[in-house]
Structure 1
């Protein structure tokens, strides 16, 4: 069965400890388990002290078929940041917004340019989501309409440049589905409301609980933020339309992305967020799934 592992963010040492604690052994340089398979929910680059080691570890497991992995928004940003057309011209202007999170990854791989190029090519072969034996794995948000649209447009075994060019324009239904799947649904605040985090940085949007229908909720109830707290103000009706909730009878979905420093990883009997904010508190979380239809707290491993 499957051991689904949350956002690693360059913490190769902590990842190795977690794998060993779950019975994975290193053979011929690759971690594997006799009866189980690891599944990485994305975001294995950036932030941590051993990014190169992490990418090599995850890739070696995937290529030896002892693990599966999907893309997180950090890998997708790295792919888009480096993507060039046939003439060698960059697809997008390299803004500081996208370079800043990548700086540490770029610095680690600076002495290994060909290796980094190979990893980016490999990342393009990874899926954005998985459906495995009745469970679902996605980096940030599972909405059936988004998944169906991506299935319609991603028909090859890698993300083609023509597809990524469409995404990079960021103004289509397809690009919205793409970014919601790997970054979640950000809720825009009214123009007269500005929220500051604990570093004094202002925010005009917040990460929302994508699995709920927001209609009738207030800002605090809808928020799934780890950086700041929203006020319990009623959301104006004109900003808060109906959204199809994730059904109680829908398959179990595992995801990462949301940096849960505190609280339960299991949000509902069929919803599990495995990002325990490793870059802030040093915790890496996995769920050991063995066929159950409802999530079991005892199967969480940290």
Structure 2
């Protein structure tokens, strides 16, 4: 069965310790298990001190059939950042906001650019989601409409440049579907409402519990992993919008992305977030799934 592993963000030592604790052993330089397969939820690059070793470890496991992996938003950003035109020049403006998260990754690969290019090419072959034996794997949000659009735009086993161009423009249904799948659903606050985090920085949007219908909810109850306090009053119906909630009879969804340093990883019997915030001194988390229809808290390993 499957061991689903959350966001690694360059913490190769944590990853290896976790794999060993679950019975994986190194054979010919690759971590393997006699009867189980690892599934990586994306975001294995950026932030941490061992990005190169993390990518090598994950890729080796995937290419030898000992693991599966999907793209996170950090990998998708890196892929788009590296797109070139026929003359070998960057296809898009390399804005600072896209470059900054990649700084640590660039630093580790500065002396081996050809290997970095190889990893980017490999990442383009990774899917945005998986459906495995009755469970669903996605980086941030499982929305049926978005999943269908993503499915239709992942062809010939890779993300084509024409699709990546659409994703980068951020102004079409393809772009919206891809970013929602790997970044979730943000709620945009009204223009006359600002919230501030602990550093004093103002925010106009926050991450939401995508599986809920926001209608009739309070701002703070809809929020997921916000680093700032939100109003305790009900969201006005004029701005709340509506979503189809993720049903309790739907398959289990494993996802990452939300940096849950505190609290439980299991939200409902069929929703589990495995990003335990390694980039903020948290622990790398995994769920050992063995065919159950409802999530079992004891199956989480950290």
Separation of aligned partners in 2, 1:7 and 1:289:
17
- Is residue 69–residue 127 contact of structure 1 (8 Å, CA) maintained in 2? yes
Name the residue aligned to 1:229: 229
Name the residue aligned to 2:301: 301
Name the residue aligned to 1:249: 249
- Is residue 9–residue 48 contact of structure 1 (8 Å, CA) maintained in 2? yes
- Is residue 261–residue 282 contact of structure 2 (8 Å, CA) maintained in 1? no
The equivalences for 1:279-290 within 5 A come to 279-290=279-290
For the pair 1:20 / 2:20, whether they are aligned, the reply is yes
Separation of aligned partners in 2, 1:118 and 1:94:
20
Name the residue aligned to 1:45: 45
Structure 1 residue runs of 4+, over 2 Å off?
Answer: none
Name the residue aligned to 1:238: 238
Gaps of 5+ in 1: none
Task: Tell me the CA shift for residue 133 of structure 1.
Answer: 0.1
Separation of aligned partners in 1, 2:190 and 2:47:
32
Name the residue aligned to 2:136: 136
TM norm structure 1: 0.98
The equivalences for 1:152-167 within 5 A come to 152-167=152-167
For the pair 1:95 / 2:95, whether they are aligned, the reply is yes
Separation of aligned partners in 1, 2:159 and 2:229:
36
Q: What's the secondary structure of 1:91's corresponding residue?
A: coil
Separation of aligned partners in 2, 1:131 and 1:66:
17
Separation of aligned partners in 2, 1:118 and 1:66:
20
Separation of aligned partners in 2, 1:206 and 1:256:
16
- Is residue 186–residue 206 contact of structure 1 (8 Å, CA) maintained in 2? yes
Task: Tell me the CA shift for residue 89 of structure 1.
Answer: 2.9
- Is residue 127–residue 154 contact of structure 2 (8 Å, CA) maintained in 1? no
Separation of aligned partners in 1, 2:209 and 2:91:
32
Name the residue aligned to 2:74: 74
Q: What's the secondary structure of 1:75's corresponding residue?
A: helix
- Is residue 153–residue 159 contact of structure 2 (8 Å, CA) maintained in 1? no
Task: Tell me the CA shift for residue 49 of structure 1.
Answer: 0.5
Task: Tell me the CA shift for residue 155 of structure 1.
Answer: 2.0
- Is residue 252–residue 271 contact of structure 2 (8 Å, CA) maintained in 1? yes
Q: What's the secondary structure of 1:187's corresponding residue?
A: strand
Gaps of 5+ in 2: none
For the pair 1:60 / 2:60, whether they are aligned, the reply is yes
Tell me how many residue pairs correspond in the alignment: 302
- Is residue 226–residue 261 contact of structure 1 (8 Å, CA) maintained in 2? no
The equivalences for 1:65-214 within 5 A come to 65-214=65-214
Task: Tell me the CA shift for residue 95 of structure 1.
Answer: 0.8
Task: Tell me the CA shift for residue 199 of structure 1.
Answer: 2.0
- Is residue 31–residue 66 contact of structure 1 (8 Å, CA) maintained in 2? yes
| CA RMSD of superposed structures (Å) | 0.8
